[in-house]
């Protein structure tokens, strides 16, 4: 995923070259790692999502998606725990956000629910399955970008409002 083999049309026709796209595709991950996130497990989940997409010998799209969503869940659980709540699942976190009315429903809650549903309904992403979902690099990148955006949103929102 982070590496692509392309035709080398320069001096050696008929040969190929390896081009590294890793830095371009996953550069935004560094935003979250440098934004003072107080939960180490969230940072580790984002790093794992990155690693699953960048290791040219072991690309694992399903685990990248799972790690991205796990990072969002970890951030929300950490936030709620620091405020005396203990939601067990991402769904519980979403319900707590709705109850507290701290986020716009259309642009925050619905995408968060979509990630939760996607994770649970896609074979081999959240649960074992005899089937394997057809996942693309773009699916993992989208989940990764959504996770980072949501975590950054919550971090800015909760840090300012607390």
Q: pLDDT tens across 57-85, in order? A: 778 888 899 999 999 999 999 999 999 99
The pLDDT assigned to 94 comes to 95
User: What confidence score (pLDDT) does residue 69 get?
Assistant: 93
Instruction: Please enumerate in sequence order all residues whose Cβ is within 8 A of that of 140, keeping only pairs 6 or more positions apart, or say none.
Output: 1, 49, 52, 53, 61, 64, 65, 68
| pLDDT tens digits, one per residue of 15-66 | 666 665 555 555 655 666 666 888 999 989 988 988 888 877 778 888 899 9
From 37-41, 50-54, 107-111, 158-162, the region with the lowest mean pLDDT: 158-162
Mean pLDDT for 80-108 is 93
Residues 6+ apart with CB under 8 A from 123: 129, 131, 132, 133
pLDDT average, residue stretch 128-155: 82
Residue 79 confidence (pLDDT) = 93
Calpha distance 31→85 (Å, rounded): 28
Spatial contact of 94 and 113, defined as CB atoms under 8 Å apart: yes
Between residues 87 and 138, the one the model is more confident about: 87
- Give the CA distances from residue 107 to residues 87, 122, 145, 156, in Å, rounded to whole numbers and listed in that order: 22, 23, 15, 16
pTM over 0.85: no
Closest CA to 47 of 25, 72, 64: 64
What percent of the chain has a predicted confidence (pLDDT) above 70?
Answer: 70
Pairing verdict, β 3-8 and 15-20? antiparallel
Would you say residue 162 has pLDDT above 60? no
Q: 137-161 and 61-82 are packed helices; what angle lies between their axes, rounded to 10 degrees? A: 10
Percent of the chain with pLDDT over 90: 35
**pLDDT of res. 97:** 95
Element (H, E) at 15: strand 15-20
């Amino acid at each position: 995923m982070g590496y692509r083999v392309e035709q080398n049309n320069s001096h050696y026709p008929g040969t190929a070259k390896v081009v590294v796209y890793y830095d371009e595709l996953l550069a935004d991950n560094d935003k979250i790692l440098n934004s003072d996130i107080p939960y180490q497990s969230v940072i580790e989940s984002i790093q794992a999502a990155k690693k699953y997409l960048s290791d040219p010998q072991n690309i694992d799209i399903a685990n990248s998606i799972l790690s991205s969503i796990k990072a969002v869940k970890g951030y929300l659980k950490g936030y709620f725990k620091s405020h005396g709540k203990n939601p067990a699942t991402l769904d519980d976190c979403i319900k707590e956000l709705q109850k507290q009315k701290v986020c716009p429903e259309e642009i925050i809650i619905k995408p968060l629910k979509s990630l939760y549903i996607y994770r649970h309904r896609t074979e081999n992403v959240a649960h074992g399955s005899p089937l394997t979902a057809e996942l693309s690099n773009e699916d993992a990148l989208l989940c990764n970008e959504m996770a980072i955006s949501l975590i950054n949103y919550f971090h800015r929102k909760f840090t300012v409002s607390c």
